[in-house]
Amino acid sequence: EDEEVVAEIMRRRFFPALITHKAWEGFHFAGHEIRITEATDCYGAVVWPSALVLCYFLETNSKQYNLVDKNVIEIGAGTGLVSIVASLLGALVTATDLPELLGNLHHNVLQNTKLKCKHQPCVKELSWGIDLEKNFPNSSCHFDYILAADVVYHHPFLDELLLTFDHLCKNDTVILWAMKFRLEKENQFVGRFQTLFDLEVISDFPSLNITLYKAMRKGRMKA
């Protein structure tokens, strides 16, 4: 079953028939053809399999996790694929990442959502753990969903990532997080995450070493 679903997810990806002056990958999600411009000089400008897993889940579980008119933030949005799919599914999306990634992120989001979405998504800088209250004040920022795909890997900002989850998550916020398991140090982040949040496995793909989690603040997980 795992291999069948993974094959279906990967079939959503396609490549240009002809070589173009600008490298891009194509995806079919939410009834649209999505074209993503990538860059090979940094991790955040490439579409990783965890993003495809999360997009597929959002599309195929749109009744249970109805994003229409929901306030959604994606952290570590990278190329913007997950944010684009959430926007096409009706969400009011804020796509965030580091300043050096915002140009490509904004390009992808704009070209794939303009005149196609109920709510035009916005792109905003978010450096994990930095100026969180200034840029996302608790008094005015409320997100129904936090989306994250492949935000845990070999980087030195795991403490700041946990702090960011903690700041953005209210009592009724649902986190949907696709995690690729790589090295033990990064894998230990899951245990640290569980000191603040209840965690539930909602999909598991052993062939990809990817697990999709649902999380909420401790004691708030709905049956």
Residue 78, domain CATH = 3.40.50.150
Residue 4: inside a domain: yes
Domain enclosing residue 85, as ranges:
1-217
Instruction: Give Cα 2 distance to the centre of its chain.
Output: 21
Q: Where are the beta strands (DSSP E) in 12-99?
A: 13-14, 24-29, 32-37, 71-75, 92-97
Top-confidence residue, 156 or 176: 176
Could you tell me the pLDDT band of residue 153, with boundaries at 50, 70 and 90?
confident
pTM: 0.94
Could you tell me the pLDDT band of residue 223, with boundaries at 50, 70 and 90?
very low
pLDDT of residue 38: 81
Residue 212: inside a domain: yes
Q: Does residue 10 surpass a pLDDT of 80?
A: yes
pLDDT of residue 1: 75
CB 176 within 8 A of CB 214: yes
Domains: count for the chain: 1
Q: Does residue 3 surpass a pLDDT of 50?
A: yes
Residue 96: inside a domain: yes
Residue 222: inside a domain: no
Q: Does residue 40 surpass a pLDDT of 70?
A: no
CB 91 within 8 A of CB 70: yes
What is the mean predicted confidence (pLDDT) over 193-217? 96
Residue 121: inside a domain: yes
Max mean pLDDT among 28-42, 51-65, 181-195 falls in: 51-65
Residue 106: inside a domain: yes
Computed over every residue of the chain, the mean pLDDT equals 93
Residue 205: inside a domain: yes
